Amino acid sequence: MEPHIENIPIRRYVLSKKADEFFTGIYNVYQFIILFFKEAFLSPFEWKEIINQCYYVGVRSLSLISLTGFITGVVFTKQSRPSLAEFGATSWLPSLISIAVIRALAPLVTALIAAGKIGSNMGAELGSMKVTEQIDAMEVSGTNPFKYLVVTRVIAITLMLPILVFYTGLIGMLGAYLNIHQNEHTSFVAFFHSAFNSISFLDINSSIIKAICYGFTVGIAGCYQGYYAKNGTRGVGMAANSAVVISMFMIFVEEMVIVQVINAIR
């Protein structure tokens, strides 16, 4: 019985330590976000680096997003057709696809791709700079590393993700049209007329809000994990992995909250 009794304080200490680390981490993230907003609105502004990051986030992600968006539109159409065909309502496919893509699929798919590709890259890139003391060297040279490395990346992904979301939606709708045209021989004009009749400004605005929130989340998570990486090369890998996991978790939480708010407004 004695070993069991002796382990109780140890377990309590471990649980207490983990709780302290959890709440300390939340506080550190809060301070990180506050510092971002302070630096984002103070001159000088790193316009050139922001444009470079926008190019990396936007243009260099187009190939992967194009392929994923097209496949999403085709697969969702294929999966929806049998259910509607049972009721003889395949003519509703354009409306169904447009509502699903614009309201949910395009923002969510784009954000998850951004978390996996861009978020992990931010974590790994800043993490490698941290463990090799490049960030400390920037501070010594008089450069503000937080503004140059963090603020520019977060602003770039926050600005570019809404554009990528609408691009994903367009490619997804194109994939859906090709599949519907192949099976129902629906014309291009009839398809998009039926599709956009079902879309309201509230749907478009909700997608924009989602994209902005997702982009900010991915940027903050990736930069935070990389900026405070430690333990050498092992820490770089952990930073990249943590950036992806945390970003995806927060994206689903934000999706649930935003959907509830939009449905309440609707």
Side chain identity at 243, as an amino acid letter? Answer: A
Q: Tell me the pLDDT tens digit for each residue of 185-199.
A: 888 888 888 888 888
H or E stretch at 103:
none
Reply yes or no on whether the pLDDT at 134 is more than 90: no
For the chain, what is the mean pLDDT?
A: 86
Is the Cα torsion angle 91, 94, 96, 99 positive or negative in sign?
Answer: negative
Q: What is the pLDDT of residue 10?
A: 54
Locate the domains of the chain by residue range: 43-265
Higher pLDDT, 165 or 87: 165
The pTM for the full model equals 0.87
What whole-number distance in Å separates Cα of residue 174 and Cα of residue 179? 9
How many Cβ atoms are within 10 Å of 141's Cβ, its own excluded? 8
Tell me the mean pLDDT in the region 156-160: 94
Q: Tell me the pLDDT tens digit for each residue of 65-124.
A: 999 999 999 998 888 888 888 877 778 888 888 888 988 899 999 999 999 899 999 999
**Share above pLDDT 90 across residues of the chain, in percent, rounded to a whole number:** 37
Q: Tell me the pLDDT tens digit for each residue of 204-247.
A: 999 999 999 999 999 999 999 988 888 777 888 888 898 899 99
3-state secondary structure of 1: coil
Q: What is the pLDDT of residue 194?
A: 85
- Cis (ω within 30 of 0) for the bond into 44? yes
Are the C-beta atoms of 199 and 100 separated by less than 8 Å?
Answer: no
Reply yes or no on whether the pLDDT at 165 is more than 50: yes
Higher pLDDT, 23 or 144: 144
Reply yes or no on whether the pLDDT at 7 is more than 70: no
Are the C-beta atoms of 195 and 98 separated by less than 8 Å?
Answer: yes
